[in-house]
Structure 1
Amino acid sequence: MKMKKILALTCAAAMVFGLAACGSAAADTTAADTTGAETEETADLSGTISMAGSTSMEKLANAVAESFMAKYPGVTVTAEFTGSSAGIEAVTAGSVDIGNSSRALKDEEKEAGAVENIVAIDGIAVVTDPANTVSGLTKDQLISVYKGEVKSWSELGGEDAPIVVIGREAGSGTRGAFEELLELEDACAYASELDSTGAVIAKVAATPGAIGYVSLDALDDTVKAFALDGVEATAENIKAGNYFLSRPFVMATKGEISEQSEAVQELFKYLASDEGKQVISGVGLITVD
């Protein structure tokens, strides 16, 4: 009788162990199948994606291209930085897949077939050389400076030195957004009009009394950013709606995203994912919820 009980328990234990082992093997097989499917999907995606446009979006475009190609080795992403208007013209002409614009699209651009896909929010920082003793401006003061109505820093509480007004070239998304937000279209008295964000930073840093505007994510310690209406130029203040100089970063397509190639569609899915949002945040931009 005792022997029968021992045999029964032994068999039961063996059955339980067997089932557990089978369950474990099944789980391992499922995990392997899932991983294999993901790997196969990643390997299967191939093609090219071409972008052109805003110089202010250079850091974002390069970061997205690098991380996307690492995830999808079969896809090649290229980017040129020709200015927002040129990027929109290129995408509507069909010479690139994506036109990068650091401003909202104009009605005529939309009528030409460009679709506005906002991928991030950027702030525009107003900068000066680090030696400038003025640390903040009101909105009205900023407008007066760019109109040429205020010509010396002494009128703003600073040294008796001329204000050198620096801006971007016509067609720049940064310039378009800056002038539109301040209602300064065709009203700015520029001493210099430069063709890239980097050129503005270099010019302002090297010119005593200079003032310029640049994308927030391009800020470095060679220049000093003004507080505007008492609010510092930070992502937190832009998210809170307290900083008045902010703009969309647009990756425009000719037609809806659903009409694009598989690779382009996947790029937009990637930008909306947690992984893509980390890339956007990593270059100092604000993600779109």
Structure 2
Amino acid sequence: MPRLPTLLLCLLPLMAMAEPGALRIHGSNTIGAALAPALVQGMLQAQGATAITRLPGAQANETEIHAHSHDGQPIRVEIAAHGSSTGFSDLGDGTADIAAASRPVSDDETQRLQGLGDLRSAASEQVIGLDGVAVIVHPGNRLQQMTTEELARVFSGQIQRWEQLGVPGGPIRLYSRDSRSGTFETFKALVLSPLHLELAPQAQRFESADALAAQVLADPQAIGFSSLATTHDAKVLAIAEGEAAAMLPTPARVASEDYPLSRRLYFYLPTNPTAQAQALAEFAQSPAGQTIVAAQGFVSQQVKAQPVVDQPDMPPAYRALVGQAQRLNVNFRFQQGSASLDNKALRDVQRVVEYLRQAGKLNDKAVLVGFGDPKETPGRAALLSRLRAMAVRRELARHGVEAREVTGLGDELPVAGNHQQQGRLRNQRVEVWVY
């Protein structure tokens, strides 16, 4: 009998998991602050739930949503937005049903959580939207653009005055997300790590993206980085990487992942998710879910066609497309070291097919253009880029699309530098153009 309290304590996590109508989403502040609550509310409305209420949780950056299902059963959703790494930890110890992450799962996390299944499988890794890590300064700052190398030198403390960047302003004050944040992990991976640099110790750290943006707005000497959805009225700088031109994080540039600091927003589910976790992931991927993603200030994965402005460095074949066709706002990308489409690309195939079907362009209207990184062997870059485009053609053909043309332009028109692996991977892409 004395053992009963101990036994009950051991059973509490299991009892919480078994609670009907419960859903626990832990992780990214970028997702959890507003996007996850909005997606949950949208899903519940689509399910016919009633009495949907949203309340603050027990701690800062936590939210609870309560409702009743269409048959009167209580529903409770708990959202804890303390950083992407906390989502994976909580998924592993059974206190979360979904890990929300603004960065991909790491090798260490994948290994540690292998008991939940392969988190990198297409079923577990769900890209729910796109974002750009925006570099923000005070509206009065005269600076217009920076390179990723300059960014690294600023945030590591090597550049400490605005005058070193060609504008007045005096000492630079640094504002960064905290170490648990997926936004920080993305910035570190894309900006600091390629140059083997660390964040300067004098940088002020924030768990909340909104708090960081507010501080930048109040400080004329500030520079920070945040999600597109939380720049508020701060000035956003254009960013250049390698040989590519400087780009602002416009929706089109982020949707195609051409912007240097583009990133994906994820839900990660175990192999055997709860019914509500699976339902939320499917709703987030739906047109209704993607509309909510866009309404919350992020970039949706809805396919659109857009004209492209002619540029003098464009190859003749590409310039012909620019003059006669429109480019879709999606780029197909591939698994590292492979011609196999990655998880996002596999879902994008379905989205592109649906767009072409609705536009009446399934047959002989789409052109696939492959790109890659430089190779030592002459002609190899062009060959590999064409093979990637052909891999996309095969996937589209399985869904009834007959491409008009497939071409490979090799290492032309890079969107990133080729001196680092991450840049070479971004250059390995396939565009879709439609007549």
Give the drift of 1:157: 1.6
Runs of 4+ in structure 1 deviating by more than 3 angstroms, as ranges, are 183-186
Which structure carries more relative contact order (alpha carbon 8 Å, separation 6+)? 1
Which secondary structure does the structure 1 equivalent of 2:153 belong to? helix
Q: Is the 8 A contact 2:130 2:265 kept in 1?
A: yes
Give the drift of 1:76: 3.5
Q: Is the 8 A contact 1:123 1:245 kept in 2?
A: yes
The answer as to 2:191 corresponding to 1:182 is yes
1:120-169 deviations in Å (ceiling 9; x for gaps): 22110000111111121122211111121111111112104111111111
2:160 to 142, 151, 172: 151
2:144 to 135, 141, 148: 135
Cross-structure match for 1:167? 176
Cα RMSD of the aligned pairs, angstroms, is 1.7
Give the drift of 1:106: 0.8
Cross-structure match for 2:264? 248
* Worse-superposed segment, 238-247 or 157-166: 238-247
Give the drift of 1:245: 0.3
CA distance in 1, matches of 2:169, 2:97: 50
CA distance in 1, matches of 2:206, 2:82: 13
Percent identical pairs in the alignment equals 28
Cross-structure match for 2:332? none
Which secondary structure does the structure 2 equivalent of 1:182 belong to? helix
Q: Which amino acid in 1 is paired with 2:239?
A: L
Cross-structure match for 1:277? 290
Q: Is the 8 A contact 2:28 2:82 kept in 1?
A: yes
Cross-structure match for 1:54? 28
Q: Is the 8 A contact 1:65 1:78 kept in 2?
A: no
Select the structure that is richer in helix.
1
Q: Which amino acid in 1 is paired with 2:265?
A: F
Aligned ranges for residues 12-161 of structure 1 at < 5 Å?
47-57=21-31, 58-72=33-47, 73=49, 74=69, 75-113=75-113, 115=119, 116-161=125-170
Give the drift of 1:191: 2.5
Aligned ranges for residues 210-225 of structure 1 at < 5 Å?
210-221=222-233, 223-225=234-236
CA distance in 2, matches of 1:186, 1:155: 19
Give the drift of 1:211: 0.5
CA distance in 1, matches of 2:257, 2:25: 30
CA distance in 2, matches of 1:279, 1:241: 20
* Worse-superposed segment, 112-121 or 193-202: 112-121
Q: Is the 8 A contact 1:88 1:99 kept in 2?
A: yes
The answer as to 2:238 corresponding to 1:227 is yes
Which secondary structure does the structure 1 equivalent of 2:247 belong to? coil
Which secondary structure does the structure 2 equivalent of 1:56 belong to? helix
TM-score, normalised to structure 1's length? Answer: 0.78
Give the drift of 1:286: 2.7
CA distance in 2, matches of 1:101, 1:110: 13
CA distance in 2, matches of 1:91, 1:243: 31
CA distance in 1, matches of 2:216, 2:188: 19
Structure with greater Cα Rg:
1
Give the drift of 1:186: 5.9
Cross-structure match for 1:15? none
Which secondary structure does the structure 2 equivalent of 1:287 belong to? coil
CA distance in 2, matches of 1:53, 1:240: 25
CA distance in 1, matches of 2:225, 2:175: 8
Structure 1 portions without partners, runs of 5+: 1-45
Aligned residues: 240
Cross-structure match for 1:24? none
CA distance in 1, matches of 2:145, 2:152: 13
Give the drift of 1:109: 1.2
TM-score, normalised to structure 2's length? Answer: 0.53
1:19-57 deviations in Å (ceiling 9; x for gaps): xxxxxxxxxxxxxxxxxxxxxxxxxxx722111111111
Give the drift of 1:279: 1.2
Give the drift of 1:111: 1.7
